[in-house]
Amino acid sequence: MSAHTLTVAGVAVDTRHWIGGERVASAQTFPDVSPIDGGTIGEISRGTAGEAAAAVAAAKAAFPAWAATSRAERARILHAIADGVDKRLEELAIVETTDNGALLRSHRRGVMPRVAHNFRFFADWLLKLEHEDFETRGHTNHVSWDPAGPCVLITPWNAPLMLATWKVAPALAAGNTVVLKPAEWSPLTASLLADIAAEAGLPAGVLNVVQGYGAEIGDALTSHPDVRRISFTGSVPTAQRIAESAAANLTPLSLELGGKSPLLVFADADLDLAVELAVEQYDNAGQVCLAGTRLLVEESVAEEFTRRFAEQASALKQGDPRAEATDIGPTIHPRQLEKIDGFVRRAVAAGARAVIGGHRVDGQYYAPTLLTDVAQDSEIVQEEVFGPVLTLQTFSDEEEAVRLANDTRFGLAATLATGDPERADRVTARLVAGTVWVNCFFVRDLRAPFGGSRLSGVGREGGTWSFDFYCDLKNTVTAPNGWTNHG
């Protein structure tokens, strides 16, 4: 076994970059630490501007041939990658759980199957991607999607492989080449994806994976003049730096950023369902951008809702994410844990009351927390915590509910619990959000547009919207009867 290979829960993982179809080591490394026990999993190649330039060069060199590859062949290879994910599903699940602390049962049953689905969906969508021709004064208009070029994809740590392939799959399907930069807190499954893609027959240089710290390698990627698309999921401050970096080349951006989403509970809602939806917001230890962290409950049912919620949330089992019975695992990193705790401590100092939780548990675990008596303009209500921390506020009528729901800088998602379909229509029409769920949560279909409003992002992806971003759209206009036979 290579000196650059880790054994993670019995799975071999190469710690080097994947550039131009070869493994490339860096002179320096950085430690990858498991949030489960705080132990170092291993040392990962730490890329800098040199590796960034090499990866973009490899993607640029591979682009003409991949762009010229037929849609059918591109789709075939993407399906082969999906097959490879299915074959290694258990390995991917245990490696990702070790790396980022999310529940193993979720990785097995939902997340890794979704990774394979990402590739299959965009492969199939590619084959039916078309726009009906239309006429202008007898001239025929034909719309086509042309591959744009090398794409830089920068992905987060909370669902590393699923969110990476949500970008990689449509970019490759569109005929682009890719440089993937995974989060430094959870890089391992991106390395395994490189192996799977190569085994599936993806040509060298079409997918490149570079690891490292954003401050050291990120700007070299996002400012590179040969990069034609940048897609990023993460925080608003990082997105602002990426936008500045990309501005010189006018590189198009797709940004999926933070959220401070509301969950509105009206008195006419099924209260059991509303409580169930609210408790579900603790999924992945609250490290979910779409989470409805602001519970807004109609005054007349607030006391009963709070009682039931506290009872159900307190029964959640927190512990080792590899155990089948565990409901909540650890936070990703000591720095994130400190951030979460700081938010809660400042909120309590300002007058908030912890109905449940409000404190750290052993290791990198934070107790599921619900805070009440919070002001609308307070930090805990306005800023994304990204941990198992919810706030609860009350409203008196529909007008106040909508006002409170929209009163942040964000607009990623919203959840609504009501028994009145007319009210649902009225309220959802007024909510500022890229996705609204009514009496459900986290139902996602790749055919639907996904993205955020306000500071929650720029652009939409999913279905044809993904191809609109990852391609240069072309309209070809042909004159009627304009052909000359030159014999």
Q: Could you report the per-residue pLDDT of 21-33, keeping only the tens digit for each? A: 999 999 999 999 9
481 inside domain = no
pLDDT at 259: 95
Q: What CATH number is associated with residue 316?
A: 3.40.309.10
Average pLDDT over residues 457-483: 94
* 68 and 110 part of one domain: yes
* 16 and 160 part of one domain: yes
Q: How far is CA 155 from CA 137, 178, 229, 444, 472, in A?
A: 46, 13, 14, 19, 23
Handedness of CA 459, 463, 154, 59 (dihedral sign): negative
* 110 and 188 part of one domain: yes
Say which of 51, 96, 151, 289 is annotated catalytic: 289
User: CA 120 to CA 117: how far, in whole Å?
Assistant: 5
User: CA 172 to CA 459: how far, in whole Å?
Assistant: 19
| pLDDT at position 487 over 60 | no
* 248 and 274 part of one domain: no
Q: Which two tokens stand for residue 285?
A: 């230890």
Output the pTM of the full model.
0.96
486 inside domain = no
- Single-letter code of the amino acid located at 90: E
Q: What CATH number is associated with residue 209?
A: 3.40.605.10
* 232 and 140 part of one domain: yes
Active site residue 289: yes
**Residue length, the chain?**
487
* 338 and 354 part of one domain: yes
Best CA proximity match to 221, nearest among 25, 47, 56, 26: 56
| pLDDT at position 481 over 90 | no
485 inside domain = no
Q: Which two tokens stand for residue 206?
A: 């079409």
Domain tally for the chain?
2
User: CA 255 to CA 257: how far, in whole Å?
Assistant: 6
Say which of 51, 91, 184, 256 is annotated catalytic: 256
* 345 and 238 part of one domain: no
Model pLDDT for residues 294-317, shown as the tens digit of each residue: 999 999 999 999 999 999 999 999
Average pLDDT over residues 168-194: 98
What is the separation, in whole angstroms, between the first and last Cα of the chain? 66
Average pLDDT of the residues of the chain: 96
Domain that holds residue 391: 262-438
